[in-house]
Amino acid sequence: MTARDATHVILDLDGTLINTEQLVDEVVSAIVHDLADRDPKAVRDALERVRGMRPRDGSERLIDLLQLTDPKTSARASADALLALTEAKLNARWGEVALMPGASRLLRFLADAEIPVALATSTPAKYLAAKMASHAGALDGMRCVCTGDEVERGKPDPEIFRLAASRLGVDPARCVVIEDTPLGVRAAKAAGMHVVAVPSIAKRDDLYVDAGADVVISSLYDLDFAAFLPAGSDWIAHETLLDPVLPLPEIVRVGGAVVKGFGRGSKVLGIPTANLDATPLKLQSDALAPGIYFGHAALPGGRIYDMVMSIGWNPFFDNARKTIEPWLLHEFESDFYDVELRLTVVGYVRPEANFTTLECLIARIRRDGDVASAALRMEPFAAHRNDAFLTFEAGEGEGGGG
């Protein structure tokens, strides 16, 4: 099968459409810590190995991997007991779950292109409504929904994907599956489907390649629909653009005081960035996948600037923490630390990438700046320059640094 033979799409849920993985890892890690003294890295590794399984299957496997015992009897821990503990905590917190970056773009494009879509999730039906409570209507475009309790064997068995194809009334070979776990990739490949992997296990693309993924991408923003579906593309390419760009389905608005970063922007790269502290902006930063974006920026005083922004861990420098590093495309006479900076993020350029040399990195950053500058002269981006978020009241947002 080739990708262009596909006519239908089958989507995973957890880690693909909704960002449940961080919450599940947090809750289960805390419960494991209460049960036993286990090395945190061993727990993380075990959680990654069960990612994509149905809840009960994952509980069974986790107990075996971590050799968990009942603290009262010293016998092997009960999967039902572990599952009951996790259910109670997770059911109280599903409302915190956000859509994955690019999920709304994916669902909107498939609906507009009238591509038949199914959901194939390890989530049992009784949890599905709770998980999606904060995202009413997100699954309305599904032709069918297949849940983990409808099949005898969960992923990596292909049963759930075969069930989805059957309900869609299509040959499995005509389906593209979008998955975030190696187990899910294995299941879809065993069902005879083309698979696009969007990894939820960081820095381990090899796991997805070994599982058989046809394509591995960094985020849902990087999906090129035209490559595997009889549909067009929502990327904008133009003779004035060095690279195509993607309009974001919704503007992301970010604001905060300019802070001192690593000092490498102006000193190492010759490209001064006006960094923001990512910690209080977690909600906004989590709405964007790590990558390069562009939009508009405002400082007190009324002027609007073009900007290009890196968000993530910057593989070349191997950051230990997530950063938000906007580069305002303007020459400033002095620094403006502590002053409030407001950003409207309207488009996407590319995922984060590593570079073999500093010179290659600098060249790529400057190219990104040229792409952003050209794109912001075009529609639909130019109209966002007048966004009300960029307007300061008199005296508002002025800091004490310089």
Is residue 12 annotated as a catalytic residue, yes or no? Answer: yes
Q: Does 397 map to a domain?
A: no
Instruction: Tell me what percent of the residues of the chain surpass a pLDDT of 90.
Output: 69
Q: What is the pTM of this model?
A: 0.89
**What does pLDDT average to over the chain?**
90
Retrieve residue 197's tokens.
């992997």
Q: Per-residue pLDDT tens for 211-260? A: 999 999 999 999 988 888 888 889 999 999 999 999 999 999 999 999 87
Instruction: Verify that 187 and 311 share a domain, yes or no.
Output: no
The catalytically annotated residue of 14, 48, 60, 180 is: 14
Answer yes or no: do 281 and 160 share one domain.
Answer: no
State the pLDDT at residue 401.
41
Q: How many domains does one find in the chain? A: 3
Which range of residues forms the domain containing residue 78?
20-93
Kindly report the backbone phi and psi dihedral angles of residue 83, in degrees, each rounded to the nearest multiple of 5, phi listed first: -65, -40
Q: Is 179 a catalytic residue?
A: no
Residue 232 within any structural domain of the chain:
no
From 214, 222, 306, 325, active-site residue: 325
Angstrom distance (rounded) from CA 318 to CA 128: 37
CA-based nearest residue to 285, from 315, 307, 310:
310
Which are the contacts of 308, defined by CB distance < 8 A and separation ≥ 6? 292, 293, 294, 326, 327, 329, 349, 365, 368, 369, 371, 372
Rounded distance between C-alpha atoms, residue 17 and residue 180, angstroms = 9
Checking if the pLDDT of 264 tops 60, the result is no
Active site residue 210: no
pLDDT of the residue at 272: 83
- Pairing between β-strand 291-298 and β-strand 246-257 as defined by DSSP bridges: unpaired
Interatomic CA distance for residues 311 and 293, integer angstroms: 8
Q: Are residues 223 and 105 in the same domain?
A: yes
From the candidates 12, 57, 180, 214, which is the catalytic residue? 12
Residues 32, 10 share a domain: no
Q: What is the mean pLDDT of residues 290-298?
A: 96
Residue 394 has pLDDT above 80, yes or no: no
